[in-house]
Structure 1
C-alpha cells in the first residue's frame, strides 16, 4: 500500500494545520478532516508533487519537466532532519506532512474547457503513478464520464494536500 492523501481547502495556514494535523499542530490531539468540518476528498494515492503535478502539466499543455510550480511544505516546518534520527516526539516522525498547492494549479484546472477534460484525463491515466483500476474503472479501464467544470471556491483561496493517517484520516 502506498501513501494515502487527502485534499481540502482552507482559508489560511493556521486553519489548514488545525484541520489536517490537530490544534496548533498537535498531531496527538488531531481528528479527521470530516470531524473538523473541512470540505475534503480522499484522493488515495494521488501524490500532489508528481501525480497531480503531471495532471496540471497536461492541462497546461507542457511537459512535466517544464512545470515550474510545486506544492509548498507547511507542516512540519522545514528543515527536514536529514541523516539524523528523529526524536520520538518529533513531528517528522509522524509521517504526516501538510503541503499547500499552488493557487495557479487550481486556476489552471478550473479553466480547463469541459471538452478538453477527456483528452487530458486520457493522457494522465497513462502515467505510471496512476492506477486506472480505481472506483471509476469499467472492465479495468478508466471511465471518462462527463464531469462538472471545476470552479475555484470563492471563500477559500488555498488548496491543501496532506497524507492521511489514523490521526487525521476518515
Structure 2
C-alpha cells in the first residue's frame, strides 16, 4: 500500500478546510481545476521524508519536529498522543492534512538554484529514500523549492495532504 502525499500552498487553514469539506476530503490538487498550487507526490511524508529534505538543506541531523506540523483535517480536534481510535474514525482512516511550519517553508524557499544538486545528493542519503540517486531527486527538490518560494512570496503556508 502506497502513501499519497500532495504538497500545496494556501492562504490559511480555513481556506483548506472549506475546499476539503466541498470535495469530501479529496486532494485539493485533484481534478481538472486544482484548488491550490501544489506538487503531487508519493511517499514523501512531511514528518520524516520532507524533514530529511529540510535537514539536508540546513546540513543538520534530522529531528522529530524539524518540519513543525499542525493538523488541519479531519475536522475536529486531533486525538491526544497515544489515544486509541476506532477503525472507522477519520483520524484512523484519513485523509489527513497538516499545515507545515513557516520555518520549513522558508528553509526550502531559500535554496539557491545552484545548490539544488548538492541538496538532492545529501537528501538521497536518507535511509527512507531507499538508495535513490540525487539526480533522480533533483526534479522533486526543484518543484518543492519553487512551491515554497511562491508560498513565501505570497505570505501563504505550505500544507501536506496525505492518504493511504
Between Structure 1 and Structure 2, how many residues are aligned?
A: 154
Unaligned stretches of 5+ residues in structure 1: 166-170
**Segment drifting more, 35-44 vs 1-10:** 35-44
Task: Give the Cα separation in 2 of the matches to 1:143 and 1:81.
Answer: 33
Partner in structure 2 of residue 162 of structure 1: 161
For the residue of structure 1 that corresponds to 2:117, the secondary structure is: helix
Matched, 1:14 2:44: no
**Unaligned segments of structure 2, at least 5 residues:** none
Residue 79 (str. 1) matches residue 73 (str. 2): no
Query: Is residue 5–residue 42 contact of structure 1 (8 Å, CA) maintained in 2?
Result: yes
Rg (Cα) greater in structure: 1
Higher helix proportion (structure 1 or 2): 2
User: Where do residues 28-67 of structure 1 align in structure 2 (5 Å cutoff)?
Assistant: 29-33=24-28, 34-35=30-31, 37-65=35-63
- Report the equivalent of 1:102: 101
Q: Residue 59 of structure 1: CA displacement?
A: 0.6
After TM superposition, the structure 1 stretch with the greater mean CA deviation from structure 2, 3-12 or 63-72, is 63-72
- The alignment status of 1:3 with 2:15, answered yes or no, reads no
Q: CA deviation at 1:156?
A: 4.7
Question: C-alpha displacement at 1:96, in angstroms?
Answer: 1.4
Q: What TM-score do you get using the length of structure 1 for normalisation? A: 0.73
Counterparts of 2:92 and 2:40, CA distance in 1: 22
Contact 1:10 1:157 in 2 (8 A): yes
* Change in 2 beyond 3 A, CA 1:55/1:84: closer
Is the 8 Å Cα contact of residues 74 and 98 (structure 1) preserved in structure 2? Answer: yes
Cα distance, 1:32–1:113 mapped onto 2, change above 3 Å: closer
**Does the 8 Å contact 1:106/1:152 carry over to 2?**
no
The aligned counterpart of 2:126 is: 127
Which whole-Å CA distance do the structure 1 matches of 2:137 and 2:44 have between them? 17
Q: Give TM-score scaled by structure 2 length.
A: 0.75
SS at match of 1:22: helix
CA distance in 1, matches of 2:51, 2:150: 18
CA distance in 2, matches of 1:105, 1:78: 22
